[in-house]
Chain A
Amino acid sequence: MASHGIKDQVAIIGMGCTQFREHWDKGVDDLLIDASSAAFASAGVAKDDVDAFWLGTASSGMSGLTLSQPLKLEGKPVTRVENFCATGSEALRQASYAVASGAYDMAMAIGVEKVKDSGYQGLNAPPAPHDGTKRNLTAAAMYSLVLPAYAARYGVDEDELRMVVAKIAEKNHRNGALNPLAQFRREMPAEKICEMASVAGRLSVFDCSGVADGSAAAIVVRAEDAHKYCDDPLYIKALSFVSGTGGGLIDPDYDYTTFPECDMAGADAYRQAGIDDPRSALAMAEVHDCFTPTEMVLMEDLGFCERGTAWKEVLAGTFERNGDMPINTDGGLKAFGHPVGASGLRMHYECWLQLRGQAGDDRQIDLSTRNLGLVHNLGGYPGEMVSFVSILGPELG
């Protein structure tokens, strides 16, 4: 693997995140202004102090003008990036590399999505001109293929597995209920989710991420400069990205129980960060729970448990906020909501709060033995996806 990483070379010195919800009263401009203003305030800097900007949005605007116009940025470079649902993380990755290279002293990564102006339910991106032979299937249906495949491979009863993934939604709703920025603030028992009508395979609407508007932003500087701005910066230990071949769609050996792109991105990130055993090294992980089966499979792909055991660990409570391996303590895509371009930065925002002990008494995880956090953010479908993994920590070394 030829990725060298930039461990401890870049630090986050401030972050901001809007509430994720149906912002009928706010447009893309408002969301960008709110998230960036919060990030500037968090870092104690002004917009003119930032040398360069990376804007992530999947389909809420094109070009850097989407950011430079509402913020009235004078003479600054703004790069718009898009990488499916990993767009926000991609913006952070590019901003971090720009700072690490020495090209800029301070950069902002900001992600935004205004999905509720389309007039349609769910996420909708206008397709590029096409030959008309592309699959006509929702992401929910593609991810629903995981359940029967996993049940068959590991000999788990399909009804039991359905309850297992509902428990994942239950946990994320429980976490979201405590989070003032989350879209959904109500708990949702797994039994109730299982009783709901199926919309794709055996998945109900409550197995899918929340559809929300929102924005989140981070300001990064080189690590040696971090303490000029901030007493408790968050250091970037690893940034990994894998864009798949799409081979899973046509490879008869692919069995829909794993996402190889995520496995590879995780392994690369662990190498960059020097982590041998993620389960013992990581205090928390924010992972891409776009659909409940996704979170289950990710527990294995990211090495948090052995293959074929994630479903048992879910039932054992391992991934609860007070469990051995807290996952999606902010509610995840499920309860926090999923404004595509913003989600990756929202995940980092939760690490920013938790790993610095700022999550608040009712939400704060235990950092007494471990203080590293992982963010996993993917885009696409089983068989053809992009995957991002970062690792963050409050200490150098």
Chain B
Amino acid sequence: MRGIISFGGYVPYRRLDRSAIAAVMGRGGGRGTRSVASYDEDTTTMGVEAARLALRSSGVDPRALWFATADPAYLEKTNATAIHAALRLDSSTGALDFGGAVRSGIGALRTALESGGPTLVVAADIRGGLPTGADEANGGDGAAAFVVGGEGDGPVVAELLGTASATEEFVDRWRQPGSPSTGQWEERFGETRYGPLAAQAWKEALGAAGIGADDVDVAVVAGAHGRAVKRVSGQLGVARVADDLAGAVGNTGTAHPGLLLGNELEQAEPGQTIAVVVLADGVEVLILRTTEALAAYAPALPVADQVANGADVSYATFLQWREMIRVQPPNRPEPTRPSSSAAARAQDWKYGFVGSRGTESGTLHLPPARVSIRPEDELDAMDPAPMADVGATVVTFTIDRLVYSVSPPVVFAVVDFDGGGRLPVELTDVDPDSVRIGQRVEMTFRRLYEAEGIINYFWKARPARSSSGQ
């Protein structure tokens, strides 16, 4: 029996109130909010956050990592390797990108469900479009991760019953690399293509699973074509169609099927049948059934909790983060690109947030050191100290309005880790006025800046969202 062992959804902290768009532009927007990746997030960092949650809930050591996004941070270079490094996976674990198309997210998940070995599947997306457009308002940013495997790998909480595909070439939505917006053909055209394709794949998947539509408790239906998703949802004949999170999060594209499925699994009972129907240049269908193991499964940070705990970002800031408007930077030199060789030597520190601890003194060194600040430790008498999942408390903090930042001011805190150890570290997902001494924080993998096309990834601290930080 192969299926899903654990999962994690990631919804970034910031929300854009859609009514803010028309308030500025005179049109566009709509009701509700959409999730917004911060200026220091990209699909890779959001993928790391989702994958950390998935791994925290299972303890499985995946033998493969597959990362899918329609908004890759890098072309040419594999993005999954940064996720692999942040998760500190073994170098014998392969890391592959499923790149470019929205369909790659569900495709990676389906392929993992139909292949062998414990596999970590991560999908992330940042969705946007030109100001006042539908994609700008209706899109959302987020990530989802699944640990997929068989019984030998860990308790399967949702087993795969059947799958089906329907594929057809038609140009409905398209985007050139580097373009800020996606083109869309007349909506009616796509709608008429997706309807029959969905019917075909749905019938085939139900047949493969050996069930009827009325056996399905809930169907997750996702796709970038809103009208087609609506039409297909109505024609499946299932008891319930899953919440599409449109009102609070928006459509997270490549990540959306996984995010919605994770959200359903977090609320599901054992023995329920869940279908996933994805419309993206054809149709993909997965049919899963939750197992008894689901009863004992504890999600690390449920999607619903993340949806409920967000904070507004202004439309002006949103436009700036998306580089739709450029603002005057501080008159300070821009940061320089990190050295690839120096970064490679420091991989465990830079990507994995691993310090060192003196074997005698127990004193934590961040970054890791060979010589201890305590005399009782011998040279090189240090153990690795993985600190990414250790909570910390703000000891003191400051607001820096002078230093270069993509989104000033920089909020900086001295934090003490649970169990000992200290680091002066930048805070993120925080409003400067809300920082307090004694505040609980947790580490998060972020994109500090980009220089000469090289992205500088490292860790920041954010106000605690998950139980490890509390």
Contacts and interface: CB of A to CB of B under 8 A. Distances in A.
B373 A245 contact: yes
Contact of B422 (A126, A135, A252): A252
A145 B414 CA distance: 9
A133 interface: yes
A93 to B, nearest CB: 25
Given A129-B342, A141-B410, A200-B398, A136 B424 contact: no
A198 interface: yes
Contacts of B367: 133
Interface residues of A, number: 37
Contacts of B402: 122, 138, 140-141, 199-200
Contact of A124 (B332, B346, B448): B332
B396 interface: yes
B343 interface: yes
Contact of A129 (B339, B396, B457): B339
Instruction: Give the one of A124, A131, A145 with max B CB within 10 A.
Output: A131
A2 interface: no
A148 interface: yes
A229 to B, nearest CB: 44
Classify the secondary structure of A's interface with B: loop
A249 interface: yes
Contact of A130 (B342, B399, B412): B342
Contacts of A140: 400, 402
Contact of B403 (A129, A138, A145, A252): A138
A203 to B, nearest CB: 9
B343 A137 contact: no
A144 interface: yes
B52 interface: no
Interface string A244-267: 011101111010100000000000
B333 A124 contact: yes
Nearest to B401: A199
B297 interface: no
B403 A250 contact: no
A247 B410 CA distance: 23
A130 B345 CA distance: 11
Nearest to B349: A133
A126 B337 CA distance: 12
A256 B338 CA distance: 30
B73 to A, nearest CB: 15
Contact of A251 (B345, B403, B422): B422
18 contacts: A126-B333, A130-B339, A132-B339, A132-B342, A132-B458, A133-B349, A133-B458, A135-B424, A136-B426, A137-B398, A137-B410, A137-B426, A141-B410, A144-B398, A199-B400, A201-B400, A252-B395, A256-B414
Report, nearest first, the 10 A-B pairs whose CB atoms are least far apart: A132-B338, A141-B400, A247-B373, A132-B456, A129-B339, A201-B398, A131-B342, A131-B346, A138-B402, A138-B403
Interface of B: 331-333, 335-339, 342-343, 345-346, 349-350, 363-367, 373, 395-405, 410, 412, 414, 416, 420-424, 426, 437, 448, 456-458
Given A141-B412, A249-B422, A249-B423, 4 more contacts: A130-B338, A132-B343, A138-B400, A144-B398
